[in-house]
Amino acid sequence: MSRIIDFARLQVGKPYVFGKSGPDSFDCSGLTKRAAAQIGLDLYHGATKQWLRGKQEGAPNQFAYWGETGPIHELPPNRTAFLFNQDKTKTNLVMAHTGLYDGAGRVIQAGGYGGKGVHDNPIDMRRWSHYAILSDFWTERDEGDMSTTLWRGASGDAVKALQTALIALGYDVGKNTQADGKFGPATEAAVKKFQADEGLPVTGIWALEDQNALDNALEDENGPPVNDDAPPVDEAALLTELEGLNRRQAVIIAALKGVL
């Protein structure tokens, strides 16, 4: 399952309009940009910079997102990938087109060969020069279980619980530091600050590793959680057991003294 591919396929049939990245029309990099946004990845609107930024250092949700790149003839046939076509007439590197490969022999693209607007058609290796596969961090978000993953725009009880925990640790989630259940800019800023403080990737996206770090931070702050399911302590039984141990100890000591 790929959220990026699923989103792109839902756009099939919409028109190609240069400079657009949805919701009603797209150009080639506008489609890949909006598709990547489904997992919190903020791609630049432009094929060349999408290719280059994936190998450059910068904000984690905008740079260094490629885990593997190569010439198109080395494309793994069963992996989801971003495809690029280099303009060989230029002296400097220019990617003239980009699209999405579904890992099963088909490409979703806006414009390009094989159709009009946004279309889904078999891959033609002659039309592409390079491929790029997301890093493990982003692949997990594209293909993994994101039921507990939160990012800007999310809302509900899970967001409210996150905000409440961040507030308890002294982070400002906005609106006079209130947990309103809406993952807005202030909550995103608080998440990024927490990630930076904990040495985590600063993406602004709340995932399992962030929750684990939060749980540890809360335990350091407040002590281990109380086990409400534990049975109540029977103090009378403990005292009786202690008295029995004391009596047995006295008998043993007396016996030893008699031997000596």
Kindly state the average pLDDT of the residues 195-208.
86
Chain-wide mean pLDDT for the chain? 88
Amino acid 60: pLDDT = 86
Confidence tier at 218 by pLDDT (50, 70, 90): confident
pTM to 2 decimal places:
0.65
Distance linking the first and last C-alpha atoms of the chain: 79
Q: Is the peptide bond before 60 cis (omega within 30 degrees of 0)?
A: no
Look at 230 and 248; give whichever has higher pLDDT.
248
- HSE of 235, CA atoms in CB hemisphere, 13 A: 0
Amino acid 84: pLDDT = 98
Length of the chain: 260
pLDDT at 229 over 90: no
Tokens of 159: 């967001």
Report the top-level CATH class of 157-222.
mainly alpha
Amino acid 174: pLDDT = 85
Residues of the chain above pLDDT 90, percent: 60
CA–CA distance, 169 with 148 (Å, rounded to integer): 21
Q: Superfamily for 3-143?
A: endopeptidase domain like (from Nostoc punctiforme) (3.90.1720.10)
Q: How far is CA 59 from CA 196, 200, 201, in A?
A: 12, 13, 9
pLDDT at 56 over 90: yes
Kindly state the average pLDDT of the residues 194-213.
86
Is the CB of residue 131 less than 8 Å from the CB of residue 101? Answer: yes
Amino acid 230: pLDDT = 55
Look at 23 and 70; give whichever has higher pLDDT.
70
The ranges assigned to domains in the chain are 3-143, 157-222
Q: What are the pLDDT digits (tens) for 140-190?
A: 889 876 556 788 888 888 899 999 999 999 999 987 778 899 998 999 999
